[in-house]
Amino acid sequence: MPTYENSLLNQTYRSTVVRQIEYGKRQGVPWGISESGYNIMDINQIYQYKAFGVPGLGLKRGLAKDLVIAPYASALALMVTPARACLNLQQMANDGYLGEYGFYEAIDYTPTRLSRDETHAIVQSFMAHHQGMSFSPWPMSYWTGPCKGDS
């Protein structure tokens, strides 16, 4: 979403993305947390879905209990910090989180949802609305200089 430099909205976007980046770095994982599927399936083998967040950004208690990265959240950051978002997405692609239809829904790092030998689980699904949100920043990022730098 276009914004005006030095506006409250612009400052909010930037500080939110910076907090996401810091949290990912501190946890040793890619960054980008939002609501998504996670590594629990119901009786019909359908991944479950809920809101996740970065402690200190979200108002919900217990956000630190879960660590689920949603690549579409990084794609949305292309509009705010294109270079950082591009690097994060490239790293996720290099790590194998890109499937036939785009980035997988999520990567779940929550220890209680992993087997002993796993460090993460890829939520191997594709939600149309998250794929669509991932596409929306690309035209603006392309027209303003794709992944060449940010202020």
**Per-block average pLDDT, block size 10, for the chain (151 residues)?**
79 93 97 94 95 90 95 88 92 95 94 96 82 65 50 44
- Identify the pLDDT of residue 128: 73
Q: Report the C-alpha gap between 31 and 6 in whole angstroms.
A: 25
State the pTM of this model. 0.86
CA-to-CA dists, residue 105 to 18, 95, 108, 150, angstroms: 22, 14, 10, 26
pLDDT tens-digit series, residues 136-145? 666 565 555 5
pLDDT of the residue at 112? 97
Helix/strand/coil for 147: coil
What confidence score (pLDDT) does residue 138 get? 62
